[in-house]
Amino acid sequence: MYMPLVSKLKEYISNQPVPFHMPGHKGGRQFPAELPFLPQMDLTEVPGLDNLQAPEGVIREAQLAAAEAFRSDACFFLVNGSTSGIHIMMMTAFHPGDRVLIPRNCHKSVWGGLVLSGAEPVYVLPEYDADRELVTHVSPQAVGRAVDGNPNIAGMVITNPDYYGLCPHLLEIRKILNKNGMKLLVDEAHGAHLIFHSDLPPSAGECDADIWVQSAHKSLPALTQSAYLHVREGRGNKESEYLDKAAQVHRMMQSTSPSYLLMASLDWARAYMEDKGREKLDKLLDYLSWTRRRLHVLGIDTMQGYSRPEVFQTDATRLILDVSELGFTGFKGEEILRQAGVQVEMSDNRRLVLICTIADREEDFRRLVEACRFLSQKKGKCREKRRSLTISREIPRQMLSPKEAFERKKVLVPLKDARGRICGEPVGTYPPGIPRFCPGELIDSQGIEEMLENQALGARLFGLTENVLISVIAE
Ligand SMILES: Cc1ncc(COP(=O)(O)O)c(C=O)c1O
Q: Based on the domain organization, do 155 and 284 belong to the same domain?
A: no
Q: Based on the domain organization, do 432 and 294 belong to the same domain?
A: no
Whether 199 maps to a domain, the answer reads yes
Residues 81-127: tens digit of each pLDDT: 999 999 999 999 999 999 999 999 999 899 999 999 999 999 999 99
Nearest CA residue ID for atom 7, ligand 1? 82
Q: Based on the domain organization, do 251 and 211 belong to the same domain?
A: yes
End-to-end CA separation in angstroms for the chain: 50
For ligand 1, what atom is nearest to the CA of residue 215? 10
For ligand 1, what atom is nearest to the CA of residue 85? 11
Paired residues of 262 in beta bridges: none
Asked if 170 contacts 208 with a C-beta cutoff of 8 angstroms, the reply is no
Whether 19 maps to a domain, the answer reads no
Whether 91 maps to a domain, the answer reads yes
pLDDT value at residue 355:
98
Whether 359 maps to a domain, the answer reads yes
Ligand 1 near 105 CB (within 6 A):
no
Instruction: Give distance in angstroms: CA of 97 to centre of ligand 1.
Output: 25
For ligand 1, what atom is nearest to the CA of residue 218? 10
Question: What's CA 398's distance to the chain center, in Å?
Answer: 25
For ligand 1, what atom is nearest to the CA of residue 163? 16
Q: What is the DSSP letter of 396?
A: P
Ligand 1 near 318 CB (within 6 A):
no
Q: Based on the domain organization, do 43 and 142 belong to the same domain?
A: yes
CATH of the domain at 283: 3.90.1150.10
Q: Based on the domain organization, do 238 and 261 belong to the same domain?
A: yes
Whether 391 maps to a domain, the answer reads no
pLDDT value at residue 234:
67
Q: Based on the domain organization, do 449 and 330 belong to the same domain?
A: no
Q: Based on the domain organization, do 177 and 234 belong to the same domain?
A: yes
Nearest CA residue ID for atom 13, ligand 1? 189
Ligand 1 near 30 CB (within 6 A):
no
Task: Give per-residue burial for 447-473: e unless 16+ CB within 10 Å, then b.
Answer: bbebbeebbeeebbbbbbeeeeebbbb
Q: Based on the domain organization, do 233 and 316 belong to the same domain?
A: no
For ligand 1, what atom is nearest to the CA of residue 187? 3
Question: Which one of 377, 411, 442 terminates a domain?
Answer: 377
Ligand 1 near 83 CB (within 6 A):
yes
- What is the number of domains present in the chain? 3
Cα–Cα dist 73/235, whole Å: 11
Q: Based on the domain organization, do 101 and 140 belong to the same domain?
A: yes
Is the bond leading into 431 cis (omega within 30 degrees of zero)? yes
Q: Is 185 helix (H, G, I), strand (E, B) or coil?
A: strand
State the pTM of this model.
0.94
Dihedral angle at the C-alpha atoms of 167, 308, 438, 212, nearest 10 degrees?
10
User: Cβ neighbours of residue 31 under 8 Å, at least 6 residues apart?
Assistant: 25, 38, 221, 268
pLDDT in tens, the chain (475 residues): 878 888 888 888 888 899 999 999 998 887 766 676 777 888 999 988 999 999 999 999 999 999 999 999 999 999 999 999 999 999 999 999 999 999 999 998 999 999 999 999 999 999 999 899 899 999 999 999 999 999 899 999 999 999 999 999 999 999 999 988 899 999 999 999 999 999 999 999 999 999 999 999 999 999 999 999 999 986 654 556 788 999 999 999 999 999 999 999 999 999 999 999 999 999 999 999 999 999 999 999 999 999 999 999 999 999 999 999 998 889 899 999 999 999 999 998 899 999 999 999 999 999 999 999 999 998 877 666 656 677 778 899 999 999 999 999 999 999 999 999 999 999 998 877 788 999 999 999 999 999 998 888 777 899 999 999 999 999 8
Q: List the one residue out of 321, 277, 309 whose CA is nearest residue 127.
A: 309
Question: Which one of 269, 296, 315 terminates a domain?
Answer: 269
Domain that includes residue 294, residue range: 278-377
Helix (H) or strand (E) holding 59: helix 58-70
Phi and psi angles of residue 444, each rounded to the nearest 5 degrees, phi first: -110, 165
Whether 45 maps to a domain, the answer reads yes
Instruction: Give distance in angstroms: CA of 228 to centre of ligand 1.
Output: 12
Distances (CA, A) of 336 to 84, 293, 354: 35, 21, 14
Whether 445 maps to a domain, the answer reads yes
Cα–Cα dist 472/457, whole Å: 25
Phi and psi angles of residue 114, each rounded to the nearest 5 degrees, phi first: -70, -45
Helix (H) or strand (E) holding 272: helix 260-297
Whether 29 maps to a domain, the answer reads no
Question: Which one of 213, 243, 269 terminates a domain?
Answer: 269
Asked if 381 contacts 430 with a C-beta cutoff of 8 angstroms, the reply is no
Asked if 74 contacts 231 with a C-beta cutoff of 8 angstroms, the reply is yes
Q: Are strands 211-215 and 183-187 parallel, antiparallel or unpaired?
A: parallel
Q: Based on the domain organization, do 90 and 180 belong to the same domain?
A: yes
Q: Based on the domain organization, do 90 and 232 belong to the same domain?
A: yes
Q: Based on the domain organization, do 218 and 299 belong to the same domain?
A: no
